Amino acid sequence: MQRRLIVGCARASVDAVAQIAQLPGETTVISRRREVSEWCADLDVQCLRRDPNDPSEYPDDVDTAICAGQDIDTNHALMGRVRERYPSIPLIVIGGTADGSAAAAAIESTADRWVQAGPVTAEELRGVLGVSRASRARQLMQLLRATEGPLAVLMHATPDPDAIASALTLMTMAERVGLAAEACHFGDLSHQENRALVNLLEVDLHPITEADELTQYPALALVDHTRVPTTLEEDVVAVVDHHAVREPISASFIDIDPAVGATSTIMAGYLRDLAIVPEAELASALTVGIRTDTGDFSREVDARDLEIVGWLSRWCDDDLLDRIETPAMQAEMLDVLARAATHREAVGPVLLAAVGEVHERDALAQTADHLLMLEETDVVIIYGYTDDAVLVSARARGAIDVGHLLQDALGPIGSAGGHEDMAGAQVRWGIMRDGLERDAAERWEIAEKIVAGRISDSLDDANRVEATAPGELTFERGRSP
């Protein structure tokens, strides 16, 4: 049962109090004013005739606190008392306007939700008030408030729009509670759409080369994946993903929902449940994330994906969406596609293609996307090389988990990451028989023997990894598994 405390109750807040009192749970009001006590009696709400400015008068067990004083200064003072008594619980302020005062600035930066002067409905506050599944959003906010920063929001090695938008959303939530957070990822940012998203939104992503670099962050959160170096498992405080669980994962907060088509759907749902209005850039990024992961609503789409996109549409920037989703196609992609079509080799439903030297790694990913459309092709693996490394891009539709395939084949000698239907890898020349010192022909021979050879060997035993229900492999610390 949710226990809500309202301190102070101005005349203008009575309607809001009445609506909040009708929600499931228990609502208690603290006020010394007789008329407030009478209003509460009419509403069948418990009112304690105590001093709202004395935290010692507050009840011990409270899940959410609401300051509903008559003006900005009153609410600012009450907010300080509430935070003194309950440092971690969600806090809502009702009443007043952003008038540029120091008190208004403090409320705006500290409260989880500030409902300024004007009509308010309890429906807008359901998430913060801990009603229904929205309590998951509350739990995450409470965890963020109690977390020591900075927080590393770790995406997978080849972050796509869904991972990027999800990371930005978690960073937005962390900012609301004063927690510094940074978006991090192993590997490189590839594909033109991904780079367009980052460039247009002016997002600052932090590439990680070695796992030790993450030790500077007291806590980690994983979005859009569940894999983390073994040495860092104890630092993971939160995991949010829409992919089925394949390996045990432990954290203080875990929300894995394979029924939805994108992690962005889950993250945007948190914003909606917490009544947080996203900026146009964030709303646009989340929309792109959902549309990308569902193939523009053509695969693995859930009704909630459509519902959330509809909700986000109120704040999206249509021009920004168009610029993100239609980046200019580079001429090299056509050359790489032509070489892949010429040199492709089919092994049952698996198509492998060597494309030689490439200058833009995006060309590999785009080529893999196109070749996956061929009939009787379920898996596409494209590989080429640059001056620094051999690059691999893989796509699949149901037959093989290419994320695990590349991790098994190339993870031990390079970096690999991704999902069951989309993954990438790179192996630097320095690892492969002094490849940096060889000419182009020798390099390609090395790549064929080592990289392509390891992939082919792994394909012999590769199958789509069987998914397990999230509850069987996820363990929230402090709770019964």
d(CA 184, CA 394): 22
- Give the best-scoring range by mean pLDDT among 48-52, 151-155, 277-281, 474-478: 151-155
Q: Span 152-177, mean pLDDT?
A: 90
The CA distance from 446 to 253, in Å, is 45
Q: CB under 8 Å, gap of 24 or more: what pairs does 200-205 form?
A: 200/320, 200/323, 200/324, 201/168, 201/281, 201/285, 203/164, 203/168, 205/159, 205/164
Instruction: Using the predicted structure, report yes or no on whether residue 239 has a pLDDT greater than 90.
Output: yes
For residue 3, what pLDDT is reported? 84
pLDDT at residue 468 above 50? yes
pLDDT exceeds cutoff 60 at 480: no
pLDDT of 33 > 80? The answer is yes
437: DSSP letter: G
Which of residues 168 and 160 earns the better pLDDT score? 168
- The amino acid sitting at 242 is H
Predicted pLDDT of residue 227:
83
Collapsed DSSP state (helix, strand, coil) of residue 94: strand
What's the rounded mean pLDDT across residues 213-237?
Answer: 90
Higher pLDDT, 319 or 478: 319
Predicted local distance difference test score (pLDDT) of residue 41:
82
Q: What is the pLDDT of residues 414-431, one digit of tens each?
A: 878 777 777 888 888 776
Residue 135 CA to residue 149 CA, distance in Å, equals 23
Q: For position 179, what pLDDT does the model report? A: 93
The mean pLDDT of 347-358, rounded to a whole number, is 85
Q: Residue 120 above 60 pLDDT? A: no
pLDDT of residue 481: 36
Q: What is the mean pLDDT of residues 217-225?
A: 94
Residue of 149 and 58 predicted with greater confidence: 58
Strand, coil or helix: 354? strand
pLDDT at 350 over 70: yes
d(CA 351, CA 57): 70
CA distance 7 to 30: 5
> What does the mean pLDDT of the chain come to?
82
